[in-house]
Amino acid sequence: MIRTMVYHRKKIWVVFLICIMLLLGLVGRLWYLMNVRAEYYSKKAEDLHERERDIKAARGKILDIRGNILADNRTVCTVSVIHSQIKDPEKVIRVLSGALSVKEEEIRKKVEKISSIERIQTNVEKSIGDRIREYDLEGVKVDEDYRRYYPYGSLASKVLGFTGGDNQGIIGLEVKYDEILKGEPGKILTVTDARGVEIDGTGERRKEPVSGNTLRTSLDVNIQEYVQQAASKVMEEKQADILWQISDSFAEDKEKNSMEQSEKVDFIMTLDNISLVAAGECSSTNNLHGAVLYGIGHSMEAFYYLDTGEIQCLVVPDEFNRGYQSVAELSDSLRRFMKKPERNTVSYSTVRRETLFSKENQEVLFTMSQ
């Protein structure tokens, strides 16, 4: 009997000790979560009740050698709806359909879709976005966005390239230097309840976007306009047609292959030195099918192909004068902060094979060889 009681007492103590250890473990874990991991789980809880909306960054400008803007941004809007916040869906559908010129059926599908946020339309003109804001519709968000535009239209468009609907570079300089130009997007953070409805009085937190960097190129608007006008005049006089164009001037091997595989033409006009040298090399191996080659160039390779007869005529910008004017304009802008860059003309020389070694072209050749 005594042995049995002792045995049960030992079992009770074992169970008691196990309970004490479990309790201490739970207390320790609770202390760890409340003190050591408090910030982490607090952030997790906030994330569960925060809705994010992106703010696109302004894409960097592209300038010519003297500061003329070749690519800039125009403010547009993105219109979205939040299903859980809409109080009068019929009014929302009617207003958005009329303002955006979209069928009511299409708007209704997005308004009635149960999701955290549904995008209705992007690249909406700012005036239309402002008009939608004036209705003060609950559940409708109008966020400012940017769209790329080119002040000089199609001038040097094959070199500059263009951007897509998401404002990312597609071809040309826009994609080549996309990492430099694109900037860093921001965010709008709003607090919501368990149903996804924004809580009044909590406001919103914003992470401001960082604009992209400005890209200054060696292009010159005056020279580009002169060459394109001259080419258009000749085409009109000769009743010529453009049969093909190559826009990827940043992959020389790819460009040479494109020229070799393209349809036979009578004339080829290049608007940058890289394209001109690539075309000259193709011509030297008889891969341009006898096409006459003209272009803008500023390298010894370009002069070599002019001397060998692969290039018929060369437009050579005054590199020294262009560099001097750029530095002078920059220095003047730094002294006078609000000064608007002036549009100056950079001199150039037209060189043909028969005038390559003439007295007036000696200075050009000497500058190129330095």
| 114-126 tens-digit pLDDT | 877 888 888 888 8
Containing 216, the helix (H) or strand (E) segment is strand 215-216
Q: What integer pLDDT is reported at residue 71 of this predicted model?
A: 92
Interatomic CA distance for residues 141 and 164, integer angstroms: 23
Sign of the dihedral defined by the CA atoms of residues 269, 273, 279, 281, in that order: positive
Between 159 and 38, whose confidence is greater?
A: 159
pLDDT digits (tens, 9 = 90+) for 7-61: 566 777 777 788 888 888 888 777 777 777 777 666 655 555 566 677 788 899 9
Sign of the dihedral defined by the CA atoms of residues 265, 267, 271, 276, in that order: positive
Tell me if residue 113 falls in helix, strand or coil.
coil
Q: What integer pLDDT is reported at residue 146 of this predicted model?
A: 85
CA angle 299, 302, 307 (to 5 degrees): 130
Interatomic CA distance for residues 304 and 86, integer angstroms: 70
Strand 62-63 and strand 215-216: the pairing is parallel
Interatomic CA distance for residues 31 and 22, integer angstroms: 14
**Residue 42 exposed, middle or buried by CB count within 10 Å (0-12, 13-18, 19+):** exposed
Fold of the CATH domain 221-369: Rossmann fold (3.40.50)
Q: What share of the chain is helix, strand, coil (3-state, %, to 5)?
A: 45, 20, 30
**Whether the predicted pLDDT of 62 surpasses 90:** yes
Between 291 and 241, whose confidence is greater?
A: 291
Q: What integer pLDDT is reported at residue 250 of this predicted model?
A: 40
- One of 2.60.40.10, 3.90.1310.10, 3.40.50.300, 1.10.8.60 is the CATH number of 51-215, namely 3.90.1310.10
What does DSSP assign to residue 188?
A: E
Interatomic CA distance for residues 242 and 359, integer angstroms: 36
Mean pLDDT of all residues in the chain?
77
For the question of whether the overall pTM of this predicted structure is more than 0.85, the answer is no
